[in-house]
Amino acid sequence: MRSEQLTKGIERAPHRALLKSLGLTDGEMKKPFIAVVCAASDYVPGHTHLHEISRAVKDGIRNAGGVPFEFFTIGVCDGLAMNHKGMRYSLASRELIADSIEVMLTAHPLDAAVFIPNCDKIVPGMLMAAARLNIPSAFVSGGPMNAGKVGGKRVGYSEIYEAIGKFKNGGISESDVRDFEDNACPTCGSCAGMYTANSMNCLTEALGMALPFNGTLPAVTAARRRLAKETGELVMELYGNDIKPSDIITKENIFNALAADMAIGASSNTVLHLLAVAREAGTPLTLDDIDEIGRRVPQLCRLNPASDVFIEDLDAAGGIGAVMCELSKADLIFLNARTVSGTQYERVKAARYADGTVIRHIKNPVRDDGGIAVLRGNLAEEGAVVKQGAVLPEMMRFTGTAKVFDSEQGAVDAILNDKITAGDVVVIRYEGPKGGPGMPEMLAPTAAIAGKGLDGAVALLTDGRFSGASRGAAVGHVSPEAAAGGLIAYVNDGDKIGIDIPGRRLELFLDGSAISERKEKQVIKKKETAGYLGRYSKAVTQAHAGAVLND
């Protein structure tokens, strides 16, 4: 027991005295100490109810004979951080979360842990910490919010941004926008579509680190509370059997998570996060691995923002278990891989069959390849990523004229003020891991393009990243980024850019001599940064490596 470093022996009398000041008894000090790592906060919609989830987890731990100790992590709400300086801290917070958990659970050695995340960077940050610390661990998220309803139609968070574009285009009134504002987010929980938070919660389940339905049970249900209590009981079994994250976060299960990723049309941010988690687990993973899986695993689900199907519908159709069951029919899952509750085979055997509508059958997929594609070419020598499952068919191959912006806000202003027209490729640069810094999300420009009715005629390219709520021909994670001297730094207005998603190519149509001339004349821009972001920008790697910090 790691906790014996606090409780056993005459030399630990001072430690026991401090524990007794918390109200612990001698009897409790003989039991396993279990960390409950919670991301609750009062102003993140996905986290405001996590105190309640945590109470259920602690009840489960006590039911099974353990002693729970709760502590909290930071957590950025990407929606609240969007379109201002705060978004630069979102991805960067992932490393702080992992590091702070390492600090807490090394300074106060406990025997096992339950992690309670819900939103974008908190899930991977906690997975990274679990892999790094390698003590028996299980996850239970807070669950998704219900879909909203506006004008008799179900909507998600991304539709609010699109409504702004429609209003600017004269298509709807200000009161219509207010209707979205009042009704698009009706409950607590992570946003209702297959955005990054729900993508990562689903993949945590597919990875084997959480119980079935962790990714899809709605936040407001009693079933979510029961799942939390069961997770608290489960971690005691993991502790008793000494089953650790290193037994679960294996190459096979990382590939299982990637297969699920492709099948559900998850957020492109999952690429960054799975690369980072695999690194912590000591399991090599590259963009080439991800693309290879993406080429052979079909997309079975098309969820909001790509459609009007929501996470609650996926849950009703059998959740991630039904998706994995369908994938197993084509031998696309490693069934012998261990999870926190048996093997993947046992889970698949107990899962429901796909309904053929929300979860398409393997022989009748949404598309023959996966929801995410990795592009390469002279504009992305180390790779770029696109959520191809949310791209309109006419935009899968596109050649357009560059309109270049050195910041997200400049691009948003141009889109909303009709400076972008059909046939353009909006290029947003100096927003990468180093150049942002922090690789901010680009939901506002993608939603503005859609709201203006241009998502079938305008593409967007950036060394930043996209919200899981984004849709359209939006290519992100361009690596190397502009701040690192990538070719994207030398694109000029009027250049021709080719995007070939089926062919996995991203090209600037400019000859070598012209590129060389520009590199001699154009200067790479540098941003002055201070505080955490300044330290982060100096240590962070490129997107193709997961935007992790150098050792």
Residues marked active site are found at: 467
Q: Which two tokens stand for residue 372?
A: 């995410």
The DSSP letter of residue 511 is: -
- Geometric angle at alpha carbon 279, from 323 and 367, rounded to 5°: 30
Helix axes 251-264, 319-328, angle to 10 degrees: 100
SS3 content of the chain, % helix, strand, coil (to 5): 45, 15, 40
115 forms beta bridges with: 37, 139
Distance of CA 22 to the CA centre of its chain: 37
Measured distance CA(261)–CA(545) in Å, rounded? 18
Measured distance CA(231)–CA(234) in Å, rounded? 5
Please name the residues in contact with 471: beta carbons below 8 A apart, sequence gap of 6 or more.
Answer: 158, 305, 306, 387, 390, 391, 446, 450, 455
CA distances (Å), origin 349, targets 288, 314, 326, 335, 344: 31, 18, 11, 10, 9
Please name the residues in contact with 220: beta carbons below 8 A apart, sequence gap of 6 or more.
Answer: 143, 145, 146, 187, 188, 189
Backbone angles phi, psi at 497, to 5 degrees: -125, 135
Do 477 and 543 form a contact (C-beta atoms < 8 A)?
yes
Do 76 and 86 form a contact (C-beta atoms < 8 A)?
yes
Write down the H helix ranges in 329-440: 344-350, 408-416
Measured distance CA(494)–CA(350) in Å, rounded? 56
Measured distance CA(396)–CA(373) in Å, rounded? 11
The DSSP letter of residue 513 is: H
Between strands 505-508 and 496-500, the pairing is: antiparallel
Measured distance CA(114)–CA(38) in Å, rounded? 8
- Geometric angle at alpha carbon 449, from 446 and 455, rounded to 5°: 95
Please name the residues in contact with 404: beta carbons below 8 A apart, sequence gap of 6 or more.
Answer: 427, 429, 491, 492, 493
